Amino acid sequence: MAENTTLVLRPSRRKWGLLVLGAVALVAGGTSMIASHDPFTMVVGWVAVIFFGLSGIVAVAQLFMNGYLKLTPEGFAVRGLGRQYATAWSDVVGFSAIRPVSTYPVSKMIVYNFAPGYPRMRGVRRLGRQISGYEAGLPDTYGMKADDLAALMNEWRARYAG
């Protein structure tokens, strides 16, 4: 791989499209629960409409936003949901694919810890480490299996971290 190599990965439009459709279906289900006139069912329906409505908005934003994960010899850059940040390979210890306890069993995500002495976001990193054992994570797997993406990022890190 030449030193000027850049790899840009994009979020899976299929995945986010399916999430939009799922959110629409669940909002419709919540709406029918609201119409039931049973007080408990109505409350559950409102909770469903609000939660899945907001989830649907996020999914639509992710679907139409020009998000990416860019790998360069200097590091990686992430853009999505109005955020953009870049991290040098030398600032990261390594990447792992984990299945968080809080998510449905089929989904994995990419997590990582920063190198000792990394000065930024200490409080947020400490909180993340206390909750999950990791300091940060990627917002998507960019159309790849999580294990494959973690291996790819570890390969780039090993090659370019110095």
Cα 50–chain centre separation: 21
- List pLDDT tens digits, range 113-160: 888 887 787 777 777 777 777 888 888 888 899 999 999 999 999 999
Residue 54 sits in the same domain as residue 118: no
Regarding whether 90 and 145 lie in a shared domain, the answer is yes
> Residue 105: is its pLDDT beyond 70?
no
Two structure tokens written together for 80:
């999505």
Residue 59 lies in domain = 13-64
For the whole model, what pTM was predicted?
Answer: 0.72
Cβ burial, residue 58 (10 Å; 0-12/13-18/19+): middle
Q: 49 and 87: one domain? A: no
Query: Rounded distance, CA 57 to CA 60, Å?
Result: 5
Mean pLDDT of 22-46: 91
